[in-house]
Structure 1
Amino acid sequence: MPNAETFKQKRRFIIRLGKALHKFGTNSFRSEAHLQHVADFLELKAWFIITPTSLTFTFLDDDDQEHNFLVRVKPSELDLGSLARTDELVDELISGKRTLDEALERLEEIAEMPNPYGKLISFFAFGASSGAFAMLMHTSWNDVFWSTILGLIVALFIFWAERSKRVTEMLEPLSSLVCALAASAIASVDPKVNAPLVVLSAIIVFIPGLSLTLGLSELSARHLISGTARIMDAIMTLFKLYFGAFLGMALGSFVWQPLPFEASEPLNDWTAWLAVFILSSTLSVLFRLRGKDAPWAILGGFVAFGTSLWASTYLGLALGAFAGAFALGVYSNLFSRVMNLPSSIVLLLGLVVLVPGSKVFIGLNTAISGKEMLHVPDIGSQTFLIFMSLVAGLIFSNVAVRSRKSL
């Protein structure tokens, strides 16, 4: 094959790989590192700038002429199963098991794969994740039940948004508005329902705690544009969610006149472990993990939660989060070295169990309304310290045990 055609083929594969990694939710510094690794293998001079909303590729051919490719993209959702398949595809290309033409064809197949779990299982996973979060907050079984029901309603809106661009543009505030109206109606006949907490649990899939943590991680890695964009997008998502919930609660109070709240007996401590299992299992579905990878990811959730819980009794919440993130990072890097798969597969799921995104929402509610959704002293400073501890824990874990993969 002539050099010019070979160059075009290599360039085409790199560009499609970059688009695929972005589509599957890979963060910027991991995407850039992986693309650079593949480009070096293909003996291609290339540079990359990856952000949540744009991809920039620069290639240098044999005549030292630059070829630039820029594409505007939208922030994507996590698809860890496709990410694992893409990583295996690159390994097969590097080992010579696939030609570049075969790799291009396989990459297109992976990108077009449907959700392996289907609508029905995903529907129940949304509801179960909301109920599991309510359990983690040590609320009552009554709140867990209603959180699950409203979580199923949120799933319907998400499925609707997949078919309607207009709904997609207003998905977060619309979902939180409807959940708040429903919670107010429930509270008007059941005084033992903690309506604000039920709303938070129902919309927990939208709370951008993971995005905030990843954004801070990107900033710590000096990927300033990507980190800033991710954090600002997360903040705007929080604002949209809170406005919808605030408006829904206000309208609900006007229409249904909720009864005064009567606190119920909180759940036993052991239910937190059940909640971690349910939450990790449902996240395996929502993140589209492959069946053979899901048990390792669920175990990562227990590693993160158990270490954090144990360390918190001796070191406090912030340093407990640091210990949990450190243990999770070491575990995910060991998983990568042993299984020859990206550490992100187990890292991101376990990180969701640790991130305090819900506390940001609670703090926002306390600051604006002056009312406490839950009694959490010094929630602002506590949340900030936990976020910093999570980032620091991940950095230290990468120093202690290096991952075999760039993803």
Structure 2
Amino acid sequence: MDPQAFKAYRRFIVKLGKMLHKYGSPSFRLESYLIEVANHFGLNSSFISTPTSIIFMLRTSDQEDEYHHAVRMQPGEIDMAALSLTDEVAAALLAGEISLAAADQRLDEIDAMQPAYGKIQTLLAYCLASAAFAMLMGASLSEIGWSGLLGALTYIGILGSLQSERFLAMLEPVTAFFSGLIACAIGYYLDPGINIPIIVLSSIIILIPGLSLTIGLSELSSRNLVSGTARVMDSIMQLFKLFFGAFLGVSLGFALFGENVYQAGESLPYWGRWLGVLCLSLALVPIFRVRVKHVPWAVVGAFIAFGVTVWSSQYVTQGVGSFMGAFALGAFANIFSRVANQPSSIVAMHALILLVPGSKTYMGLDSFISGKDLVNTQNIGPEVFIIFMSLVAGLIFANVIVPTRKAL
């Protein structure tokens, strides 16, 4: 292979890998995808991806040229629009529709483009997501409203973390602390008797690392042991930081304003849960930066995942119901990948957040520390573990029965 061609190929692969990592691709999918691209170029390759680093190892088939590159990365944030566009560039290159130079330039344009959704839209999405989760938790109408209002605080914290690396390290406990403190003030001055723990949990639900935990377990199941272990431990630490911040904020709030005496309010009718699914799936569009043309697929995927889980849980245990919901979601996401020629994770990630038991993990931790239940948390530890395993197994079975067209 010509040395200049090898240099051009390796530069493109390194840039592609760094971008896909930045947009939140799981390690096992990222590594498989890069291997496909390297094989197309006639290169022997090996990649090691973790949440905070990527190692590239490339060499020509005649082994005359070899290249190693290691780079430190920040954990990726989900950006489905950029992921979709990046995949389109790589697919066009592999199909011979554009040149390597044009593909390289297009990657630079994607990396520099501004988010499709502005700050106001994203702020409203965080408010809607928190309110929607409160609906799913059976909160009263006033609690849903307060949850949505405090959801704005989470987005403000995220904006602040983008301006300061020091604040980024403290994002979870600081945001949860002020959510707890403000919820106590609301319960004292404005709306006595509200369920403060549910409001706090709903307001920080986007920060609860349930999705990250599921991805980590999926990586472990695919024998990406380093990446999976790192992601799981990072998720656990995030959960601890969130709980500590909320616990400290509520404790200080009770000390300042007096302990709130919860008085159960009237929840929304049964249809409120389905309204919550719709609102949450729509709220995730700006948060995950989903392209407009993929929104119907993402919303339908959310209803399929939630609907199959709820329906099957009436006849089998919740663990088996979660397995069936994840299987249905995985199969639908892979069908989307075949029809739209896009990464299946665009649909899977969007809908999976409705199934992951991140909130139950938080509630179990709260019950263990405080001795009080947000809701019925009996046997929640084994239940959470079974649900996580069921979700991973459901996605694995879906990939076997309905194989995806793309590695991503």
TM-score category, normalised to shorter length: over 0.9
**Aligned counterpart, 2:307:** 306
Q: Displacement, 1:96?
A: 1.2
Task: Find the residue that maps to 1:76 and give its secondary structure.
Answer: coil
Q: Displacement, 1:37?
A: 0.3
Q: Displacement, 1:249?
A: 0.8
Q: What is the count of residue pairs matched by the alignment?
A: 406
**Contact 1:181–1:249 at 8 Å: present in 2 too?**
yes
Q: Displacement, 1:63?
A: 4.5
Per-residue CA deviations over 1:244-268 (Å, capped at 9, x if unaligned) read 0011011111101133111111221
**Contact 1:303–1:324 at 8 Å: present in 2 too?**
yes
Q: Displacement, 1:64?
A: 3.4
Task: Find the residue that maps to 2:266 and give its secondary structure.
Answer: coil
Distance 2:260 2:22 in 1: 46
Task: Find the residue that maps to 1:138 and give its secondary structure.
Answer: coil
**Aligned counterpart, 1:370:** 371
**Contact 2:184–2:260 at 8 Å: present in 1 too?**
no
**Contact 1:142–1:192 at 8 Å: present in 2 too?**
no
Distance 1:271 1:261 in 2: 22
**Contact 1:191–1:258 at 8 Å: present in 2 too?**
no
**Contact 2:3–2:65 at 8 Å: present in 1 too?**
no
**Aligned counterpart, 1:148:** 148
Alignment of 1:45-194 (within 5 A): 45-61=44-60, 62-189=62-189, 190-194=191-195
Q: Displacement, 1:149?
A: 0.5
Task: Find the residue that maps to 2:58 and give its secondary structure.
Answer: strand
**Aligned counterpart, 1:42:** 41
Task: Find the residue that maps to 1:115 and give its secondary structure.
Answer: coil
Partner amino acid, structure 2, of 1:12: R
Q: CA RMSD in A?
A: 1.1
* Range with bigger deviation, 55-64 or 341-350: 55-64
Task: Find the residue that maps to 2:70 and give its secondary structure.
Answer: strand
**Contact 2:305–2:328 at 8 Å: present in 1 too?**
yes
Give the share of equivalent positions with the same residue, in percent.
49
Distance 1:219 1:50 in 2: 13
Distance 1:241 1:169 in 2: 12
Distance 2:105 2:78 in 1: 22
Per-residue CA deviations over 1:372-399 (Å, capped at 9, x if unaligned) read 1112321111111111110111111111
| 2:381 matches 1:402 | no
User: TM-score, normalised on structure 2?
Assistant: 0.98
Per-residue CA deviations over 1:178-216 (Å, capped at 9, x if unaligned) read 000001111123223100110000000100000000111
Partner amino acid, structure 2, of 1:315: V
| 2:39 matches 1:29 | no
Q: Please, which runs of 5 or more residues in structure 2 have no aligned partner?
A: none
**Contact 1:185–1:258 at 8 Å: present in 2 too?**
no
**Contact 2:79–2:289 at 8 Å: present in 1 too?**
yes
| 2:357 matches 1:331 | no
Per-residue CA deviations over 1:250-305 (Å, capped at 9, x if unaligned) read 11111011331111112211111111011001111101010001110111000000
Distance 1:63 1:270 in 2: 63
Partner amino acid, structure 2, of 1:35: L
Alignment of 1:2-13 (within 5 A): 3-13=2-12
Per-residue CA deviations over 1:51-103 (Å, capped at 9, x if unaligned) read 11110001114453432100011111100111111111111101111111111
Distance 1:332 1:192 in 2: 42
Distance 1:224 1:263 in 2: 45
**Aligned counterpart, 1:286:** 287
Distance 2:370 2:377 in 1: 15
Partner amino acid, structure 2, of 1:302: F
**Contact 1:177–1:248 at 8 Å: present in 2 too?**
yes
Distance 1:261 1:191 in 2: 8
* Range with bigger deviation, 302-311 or 180-189: 180-189
Per-residue CA deviations over 1:200-244 (Å, capped at 9, x if unaligned) read 000001000000001111111111001000000000000100010
Partner amino acid, structure 1, of 2:5: T
Partner amino acid, structure 2, of 1:39: A
Distance 2:157 2:340 in 1: 37
Q: Please, which runs of 5 or more residues in structure 1 have no aligned partner?
A: none
Distance 2:243 2:377 in 1: 18
User: TM-score, normalised on structure 1?
Assistant: 0.98
**Contact 1:187–1:258 at 8 Å: present in 2 too?**
no
* Range with bigger deviation, 347-356 or 154-163: 154-163
Q: Displacement, 1:166?
A: 2.3
Distance 2:266 2:291 in 1: 38
Task: Find the residue that maps to 2:48 and give its secondary structure.
Answer: strand
**Contact 1:44–1:59 at 8 Å: present in 2 too?**
yes
**Aligned counterpart, 1:354:** 355
Partner amino acid, structure 1, of 2:102: E
Q: Do the aligned partners of residues 63 and 394 (structure 1) sit closer, same or farther apart at CA in structure 2, a change above 3 Å counting?
A: closer
Distance 2:378 2:390 in 1: 18
